[in-house]
Chain A
């Protein structure tokens, strides 16, 4: 008796037929070109929403790694800064206006401070009506405690460093002292005493990490969200937080609209863990209202060219720069001529094409960025290569060619590796052979931030913590601290220290002028790195979303201006 497993012939012939049929079906299923979509109907535009009236629910998608922490004083990612803008009112805050107008500071929990003539004392007077969501008024002691908390080494993440010029701060930040004499608080005032004038101090008191918390809050990270549930100071407070699943934010009735008319949506629901492209599909299908990640280039292209959807796509500048850092301490980039040659040799336009082209960003050959105060566009180097100049500089450098070096960047976000390949091709023309090494962002960023790694070059994006050049120039390349982790170029030219300090201490238009001059001096004289482009931000929202404003300072959607159509 044959125990055969069945006659194979017919099965396998059928396989071929089905395979062909499947291919035909799939090709038929393809819909090339933009689909004529229909937005769900019912978008009658309501009039401007009324103060203090919040209605409707908006649902948004958040990617899985978007939440860094739920402790307000530890918030550091753009997404959580967007939440901070809704749930906190800092001493002073940014205006709820789009683009550059949104980088202006206005009164928040306190009125605009009185600054002493020598720039060393900032006195903030708290406004009546500023209270936590449990109804209790915010006092000066609460504010002082907030600053001590965010600078406490047990919790400190990322922004305590900005306040080193407060009297007593260095010892406190290092854990050597338990008091902070530089901050003096009464019931309704807070005074900061600085060791040196700081032109960006106002911005620093608008950082989301200075979100007010009650005096006596635990000095350990508070991750359950109770602080935002019970002690929110903004138009919104947290209703529930399921880690990796969902965040629900509701209108805070105890927020005094006299502090600023904000908040017109009754409830925000954030679904965590949705991929950016899937989210775009869901928004188009009407199953979602917005998302917190930047749109993928392909989606930007697809949506912008679909006439019926174009009104749902919004574009904004970002205080951001993507640059090719060159390690000033490692050969061959310790040679100024080589660095300038690189600036002449790279094809900024082609590199930016890899990111998405002129639609999604603008090429740059300067340090300062659009969206930061005092930005004035100029070109230190051409957008397409000038190989003659580049080769001449390589000759003058006296460096023996060919050189071999490596470029490090992240390989888990699209575009970076491709940009690396273009740079590799560009530099090969001037005798520099580059190996491109890509690792995931988390591994890459801790590797390149470590001065001991001696990374020669790499492509990195840098977002400013506040819309002022200090957050880029001083934070990112202070020559007094070449080994600071963010100083990827290891820039340590001591001759520039006076210029850095002077610019940081200046105020107003003088400050803008000094930074513009510093930008030019750096790029023309020493070319510490090679800037490439400034990315723009794209949002795609559903038809129900009205009042869209992108907060340039927070690098997130402004949840306080939205309303449901």
Chain B
């Protein structure tokens, strides 16, 4: 198992290297062809071509690409993510706080969607074709079909803004000025944990809905499968209560698959949540990445992509290795 794990880790490292190279090349090279020049933007509206060249020289943008890449790689190995010339400060000061905000959002949403999906999915698997099952799966398929960039502003409007005008879902049943949820904004955990949680409720719910839908179906399928297996029938025949069967036997067998999926999803979510972040004004990674793209802040764009890819690679590697540990069948399969 150690050899398998070791190979896996080595593969992961190579992947990360390739990721850095691609990310670097992609933007710098393509940008050169489209004539989008950050030096121009920084030099200002009235700068002469000579001044623009001077700014470019100061920023080191006139070096050949391979040199810039090596400097960049060297910095990366020291944990230095580069320097943003648009914001004139180290990229790490931009990216890590953003990461914290996004992590709050994603992990909070994960808690919510698991809290919804596990009971609903398990119930559906336990009692297939019951009303609860049908209802759960109906809601799930609806939840999967709603685009998040529509859901986010609608939720912000219905639950954040309308209550202040005395309405709940269009019905004037609340006192005017009710502050049910904040329309947007983000408060650091360090500044005020209560406000931090309060501002995260609506965004986390918005994000959780789509994922909950997928997980309800997934957990339901897995649970139903496991409950149809011989060993669960044996356990029940031996007198184990349904709850015990569910938690001890089914749960244990279902957990590895759910963990794998969860790992991959959290990794993806950490980078793909910018619709939610933009609407609710959460200064996270997706939002930072988007602004960097608009501002042609290449070091930040590159850093965000690399951080996201590294997280994905690491998450997948960890989850794979954990899966190997949890599921003895996998360790011995030569062709994974």
Contact = CB atoms under 8 A, between A and B. Distances in A.
A245 interface: yes
B128 A6 contact: yes
Contact of A158 (B47, B58, B135): B47
B88 A223 contact: yes
Given A158-B47, A285-B183, A449-B40, A65 B137 contact: no
A175 interface: yes
Interface residues of A, number: 80
The residue among B45, B164, B177, B182 with the most chain A CB atoms within 10 A of its own CB is B45
Contacts, number: 204
B294 A65 contact: yes
Nearest to B43: A157
Interface stretch (B68-76, B152-160, B203-211, B313-321): B152-160
A379 interface: no
B225 interface: yes
B335 interface: no
Nearest to B297: A442
B82 interface: no
A3 B225 contact: yes
The residue among A284, A412, A441, A442 with the most chain B CB atoms within 10 A of its own CB is A442
B114 interface: no
A221 B88 contact: yes
Contacts of A485: 40, 45-49, 52
B37 A450 contact: yes
Interface string B270-281: 000000001101
A368 B103 CA distance: 51
Contact of A453 (B35, B129, B177): B35
A161 B283 contact: no
A173 B93 CA distance: 32
Contacts of B157: 281
A61 B279 CA distance: 13
Interface string A2-44: 0111110011101100110010010011110001011010000
A29 B169 contact: yes
A64 interface: yes
Interface in B269-312: 278-279, 281-283, 287-288, 291, 293-296
A162 interface: yes
A481 B129 CA distance: 78
Given A6-B129, A15-B141, A243-B94, A278 B184 contact: yes
Nearest to A462: B45
Contact of B36 (A6, A175, A446): A446
B86 to A, nearest CB: 8
A71 interface: yes
A543 B9 CA distance: 59
A442 to B, nearest CB: 4
A449 B183 CA distance: 39
Given A11-B138, A38-B177, A485-B47, A287 B183 contact: yes
B282 to A, nearest CB: 8
Interface string B126-158: 001100011101110110000000000100111
B323 interface: no
A5 B224 contact: yes
Interface string B160-202: 1100111101100000110100111110100000000000000
Contact of A223 (B89, B160, B185): B89
A38 B141 CA distance: 39
Interface string B87-109: 11100011001100000000000
Interface stretch (A179-187, A266-274, A421-429): A266-274
A547 to B, nearest CB: 25
Contacts of B176: 38
B263 interface: no
A154 interface: yes
B133 A6 contact: yes
B258 interface: no
A412 B296 CA distance: 13
Interface residues of B, number: 77
Contacts of B87: 69, 223, 243
B182 A243 contact: no
Contacts of A244: 94, 97-98, 283, 288, 291
A7 B129 contact: yes
Nearest to A282: B183
A245 B49 CA distance: 34
A38 B174 CA distance: 13
Given A11-B134, A158-B46, A443 B164 contact: no
Given A37-B165, A159-B44, A28 B98 contact: no
Interface in A384-436: 412
Contacts of A224: 89
A20 to B, nearest CB: 11
A447 interface: yes
B3 to A, nearest CB: 36
B186 to A, nearest CB: 8
Contacts of A162: 46
B283 A6 contact: no
A76 interface: yes
22 contacts: A6-B137, A6-B220, A14-B134, A14-B138, A18-B138, A29-B169, A35-B167, A69-B88, A158-B44, A159-B44, A175-B54, A278-B184, A278-B281, A442-B294, A445-B40, A446-B40, A446-B296, A450-B35, A451-B49, A475-B46, A485-B45, A485-B48
Interface of B: 34-38, 40-52, 54-55, 58, 87-89, 93-94, 97-98, 124, 128-129, 133-135, 137-139, 141-142, 153, 156-158, 160-161, 164-167, 169-170, 176-177, 179, 182-186, 188, 220-221, 224-225, 228, 278-279, 281-283, 287-288, 291, 293-296
Interface of A: 1, 3-7, 10-12, 14-15, 18-19, 22, 25, 28-31, 35, 37-38, 40, 61, 64-65, 69-71, 76, 153-154, 156-162, 173-175, 221, 223-224, 243-245, 271-275, 278, 281-282, 284-287, 412, 439-443, 445-447, 449-451, 453, 465, 475, 481, 483-486
What 5 A-B pairs have minimum CB-CB distances, sorted nearest first?
A158-B44, A285-B164, A29-B170, A446-B40, A223-B88
Given A221-B88, A453-B35, 10 more contacts: A14-B134, A65-B294, A243-B94, A245-B188, A273-B282, A274-B185, A440-B293, A442-B36, A447-B36, A486-B45
